[in-house]
């Protein structure tokens, strides 16, 4: 049946109303859905912020208790309907190891669990661990507040705050933090035997500062190991490594090297210099050389080092007739020569070939047939002087610089420019040249004549003394302070 014109218009109006109603309901649904999702996201963000604030407050309170400022504190922790707090004594651990403290021996100075207090929801977690607060979400791991790890001027202070009990709660939570034990000193220990006295595994070295030899490694195993690694990098320039499989972050800080007495190394072997300060750091440097087979006639002895294009060598020459001096007191002079090359195509040469054999800073003791050399004496050396020797560990065949400039302002009378015939002291040259190789290098020993390798010296009976100022660069450690600080956290 064909509809009349009025009926056709009525049907069209009805359809329009239905379509409009449907679109309105659909739009309302979309708005409600989007609004609910946005509201949920906002609520989660607010809950996370509240949890971070609560855990930061908890961190401050726990530090007061753990570090011994008070015995007991309490606070209220915020939470949401889907979140809860847990206390775990076994979550994560921290280990401190002293690598190569003596002849490739290692010592585990400290190794214990950290424990944690965690607020966890379906989408995120905020955790107190090791004196810091960490957050984990789908976006990764971040540090909310730093752990109890303090490094400055080559000094590492590490009060290890440990959570020692188990508990859990949700809703409106009240936390009571109590000190479990007295603060325990781990490193260093007392200077004299008594309570807390401890030695390394070799039974000789003690837990004392300054820390010498090898390196100190701090390793943390944690859910937040990436955050620990990043914090280590921001606080130091030490070597930081991560093991993703083991979920660990390790910081390696090198100790400073040889300071004080040392045994003379074998020919072409070196004294390890580590952590030498900048400027003119050497304060004392001298050796006593004991002969091996035969006499000291016509012997040359040197210390040398290289780094890139730079090279340094200081040679002591014993004259051929030195035996006559010891037999009948016939006059004899010793010689010292200092060489330096900085890679510019020229070299520096300083010499003194008239050092009295019996009384000079390079001298021979005829009763013991030992030769004493003081590299930090005020003995003068002349630039481009005579008396140089061909017997050296390194090759010195570059042209001599006509006007070398020493530019350590304020050190040993510098800035100074020298010309041939100019003089300065052995102390000045030793302090100036070796500073170019700091902070780490090997100072090698050599003796001749010739390269046959036959020993002219008894290295077991030869000794030395080398003292220098050490750097506070953030890749080194000189002083280590570690304490264990145990707390319990009760939730209600």
Instruction: Read off the pLDDT of residues 354-367 as tens digits, 9 standing for 90 and up.
Output: 998 888 899 988 88
pLDDT grade for 237, boundaries at 50, 70 and 90? very high
Q: CA-to-CA distance for 95 and 111, rounded, in angstroms?
A: 4
Residue 385, pLDDT above cutoff 90: no
On the question of pLDDT at 12 being above 70, the answer is: no
Check residue 171 and give its pLDDT: 81
- Residues 485/185, Cβ–Cβ less than 8 Å: no
pLDDT of res. 39: 45
Tokens at 67, concatenated: 């570090």
User: Where is pLDDT greater, at 7 or 54?
Assistant: 54
- Work out the percent of the chain whose per-residue pLDDT is above 70: 84
- Spatial neighbors of 29 by CB under 8 A, at least 6 apart, are none
Over the chain, what is the mean pLDDT?
86
The per-residue pLDDT for 253 is 96
Average of pLDDT values for 252-271? 89
Contacts of 23 (CB under 8 A, 6+ apart): none
pLDDT at 332: 81
Report the C-alpha gap between 162 and 113 in whole angstroms.
Answer: 7
Task: Count how many Cα atoms sit within 13 Å of the Cα of residue 241 in the half-sphere of its side chain.
Answer: 9
Contacts of 10 (CB under 8 A, 6+ apart): none
Give the other-Cβ count within 10 Å of 380's Cβ. Answer: 14
Greater pLDDT, 29 or 224: 224
> What's the mean pLDDT in 289-310?
86
Specify whether the CB–CB gap between 142 and 126 falls below 8 A. Answer: no
- From first CA to last CA, the distance across the chain in angstroms is 79
pLDDT of residue 51: 77
- Residue 452 pLDDT: 46
pLDDT above 90 for 450: no
Tell me the C-alpha distance between 466 and 442, whole Å.
13
Q: In the predicted model, what is the mean pLDDT of residues 379-386?
A: 88
Q: Supply the pLDDT for residue 420.
A: 95
Please return the burial class of 38, using the count of CB atoms within 10 Å of its CB with bins 0-12, 13-18 and 19+.
exposed
* Residues contacting residue 352 through CB under 8 Å, at least 6 positions apart: 335, 336, 379, 380, 381, 382, 385, 387, 426
DSSP state at residue 347 = E
């Amino acid at each position: 049946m064909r509809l009349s014109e009025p009926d056709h218009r009525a049907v069209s109006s009805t359809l329009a109303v239905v379509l409009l109603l449907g679109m309105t309901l659909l739009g309302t649904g979309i708005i409600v859905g989007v609004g609910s999702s946005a509201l949920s996201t906002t609520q989660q963000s607010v809950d996370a912020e509240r949890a971070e604030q609560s855990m930061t407050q908890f961190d401050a309170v726990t530090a007061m208790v753990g570090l011994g400022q008070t015995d007991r504190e309490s606070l209220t922790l915020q939470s949401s309907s889907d979140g809860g707090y847990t206390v775990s004594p076994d979550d994560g651990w921290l280990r401190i190891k002293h690598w190569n403290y003596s002849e490739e021996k290692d010592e585990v100075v400290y190794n214990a669990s950290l424990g944690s207090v965690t607020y966890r929801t379906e989408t995120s977690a905020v955790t107190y661990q090791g004196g810091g607060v960490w957050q984990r979400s789908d976006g990764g791991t971040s540090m909310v507040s730093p752990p109890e790890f303090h490094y400055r001027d080559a000094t590492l202070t590490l009060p290890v705050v440990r959570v020692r009990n188990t508990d859990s709660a949700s809703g409106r939570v009240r936390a009571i933090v109590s000190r479990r034990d007295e603060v325990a000193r781990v490193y260093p220990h007392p200077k004299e035997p008594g309570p807390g006295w401890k030695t390394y595994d070799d039974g000789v070295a003690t837990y004392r500062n300054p820390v010498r030899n090898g390196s100190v490694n701090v390793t943390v195993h944690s859910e937040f190991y990436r955050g620990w690694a990043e914090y280590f990098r921001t606080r130091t320039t030490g070597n930081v490594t991560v093991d993703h499989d083991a979920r660990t972050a390790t910081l390696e800080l090198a100790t400073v090297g040889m300071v004080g007495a040392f045994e003379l190394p074998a020919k072409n072997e070196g004294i390890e210099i580590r952590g030498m300060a900048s400027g003119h750091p050497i304060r004392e440097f001298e050796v006593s050389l004991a002969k091996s087979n035969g006499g000291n006639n016509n012997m040359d002895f040197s210390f040398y080092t290289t780094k890139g294009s730079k090279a340094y060598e200081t040679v002591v020459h014993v004259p051929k007739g030195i035996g006559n001096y010891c037999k009948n007191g016939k006059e004899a002079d010793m010689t010292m020569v200092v060489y330096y090359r900085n890679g510019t195509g020229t070299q520096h040469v300083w010499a003194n070939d008239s050092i009295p054999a019996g009384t000079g800073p390079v001298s021979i003791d005829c009763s013991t047939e030992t030769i004493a050399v003081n590299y930090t004496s005020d003995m003068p050396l002349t630039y481009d002087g005579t008396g140089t020797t061909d017997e050296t560990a390194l090759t010195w065949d570059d042209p001599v610089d006509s006007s070398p400039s020493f530019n350590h302002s304020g050190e040993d009378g510098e800035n100074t420019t020298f010309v041939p015939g100019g003089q300065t002291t052995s102390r000045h040259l030793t302090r100036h040249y070796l500073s170019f190789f700091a902070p780490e290098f090997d100072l090698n020993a050599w003796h001749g004549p010739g390269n046959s390798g036959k020993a002219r010296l008894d290295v077991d009976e030869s000794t030395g003394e080398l003292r220098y100022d050490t750097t506070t660069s953030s890749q080194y450690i000189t002083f280590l302070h570690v304490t264990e600080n145990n707390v319990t956290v009760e939730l209600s």
